[in-house]
Amino acid sequence: MLKYVLKRLALLVLSLFIIMTMLFVLIRLLPNPVEAVAGGFDKALREMREAWGYNKPIIVQYGIFLRKVFTRWDWGFCTSMGTFLQPVSGYIAEKLPATIYVNVISVLFSLPLGITFGIVAAVNKNRWPDHIIQVFIMLFISVPSFIYAFLLQYYVGYRLNWCPLIFRDGRDFFSWPMFHSAIMPVLALSFGPIASTMRLIRAELTEQLTADYMLLARTKGLSRAQATVRHALRNSFVPLMPSFLADFIGILGGSMVIEQIFAVPGIGKTYVQSIAVKDYSVFMAISMFYVSIGLSAGIASDLSYGLIDPRIRMGGSKTNEL
């Protein structure tokens, strides 16, 4: 197991290095938009570009970039109008709390609901609760999150006036006004993960309820509820952690659009804006953030199998057949 983990970590570092190299080379080959933004290079901008080696060969620029990133966590400077020459790391650190706030609440809201309704559908298979839940599953999975965002914003925010139309700007994340303004973005991001979790739990638990060991548990004196909770649920949770991590990555990806719709001052909105204004340093840093989250989730997904079911060991040698 340790050998497998070390191997996966080495592959993660290699993948990050390859992706970072590709992004760096492609970005440096693009036309420089700073002249159009700044109207010419002033002294501060010229000195900063010289410090980053913009007047040197690209391999030297990449060496300077790696040294600054890994020794000082310095990803460069912003070139957009509102944040001209501000350090990228500090700029992203200001935007990150809003994204974490919305995404964490979405995960905490969607996972329990998805598990609960998935269990209800599996226990009541082919009955009216199961049919109703399957209709919602198809509806939530088929429709993109930004469609729900527009519908919520129009009906819940504008027509009914139950929630603010846009996200509240500020740092008081544990206050009711902030949470109230986050309800609609959270709902728009949660519908898809709720549906995927319901579908997974329903399919897995339905299969486990018809397994032979459930019949054995019932013959030993356990009630249907006891056998379901003690045995079937645990086995059906084996694929849940990988699915949960995939849903979390999906929420992060979807939040790019949702943050634009509800004016959430997070890194998703900043990521989209960095493309529009050609702020390449911000684009590079946020791209590597998303890549790191995705690759780390892949490793955590594989290791979660062994944590949930001790019989599963990743990277183990094959047993000899007798």
Along the 322 residues of the chain, how does pLDDT read in single tens digits?
A: 678 778 888 888 899 999 999 998 888 887 765 554 444 456 666 677 776 777 788 888 888 888 888 888 888 777 775 566 778 888 888 888 888 888 889 888 888 898 889 888 888 888 888 889 888 888 888 888 888 889 999 999 888 889 888 888 777 888 888 899 889 999 998 888 888 888 888 888 888 777 777 777 777 777 777 777 777 777 777 677 667 776 777 677 767 888 888 988 888 888 888 888 888 888 888 888 888 888 887 777 777 666 655 555 555 544 443 3
Q: What is the pLDDT of residues 18-54, one digit of tens each?
A: 999 999 888 888 776 555 444 445 666 667 777 677 7
Q: What is the pLDDT of residues 254-264, one digit of tens each?
A: 678 888 889 88
Tally of residues, the chain: 322
In eight-state DSSP terms, residue 165 is S
Q: pTM to 2 decimals?
A: 0.79
Going by C-beta distance under 8 Å and a sequence separation of 6 or more, which residues neighbour residue 130? 120, 121, 122, 124, 202
Beta bridge partners of 87: 77
Work out the number of other CB atoms within 10 angstroms of the CB of residue 158: 12
Q: Which residue has the tokens 């459930």?
A: 214
Phi, psi of 87 (to 5 degrees): -60, 135
Buried b (16+ CB within 10 A) or exposed e, 174-188: eeeebeebbbbbbbb
The burial of 193, by beta-carbon neighbours within 10 Å (0-12 exposed, 13-18 middle, 19 or more buried), is given as: buried
pLDDT for 34 equals 56
Going by C-beta distance under 8 Å and a sequence separation of 6 or more, which residues neighbour residue 42? none
CA gap 65, 68 in Å, rounded: 5
pLDDT for 313 equals 58
| DSSP-derived secondary structure for 246-259 | HHHHHHHHHHHHHH
Considering only CA atoms, which of 193, 229, 198 is closest in space to residue 121? 198
Work out the number of other CB atoms within 10 angstroms of the CB of residue 281: 22
Residue 111 amino acid letter? L
Considering only CA atoms, which of 93, 282, 116 is closest in space to residue 201? 116
Contact 244, 194 (CB under 8 A): no
Phi, psi of 77 (to 5 degrees): -135, 150
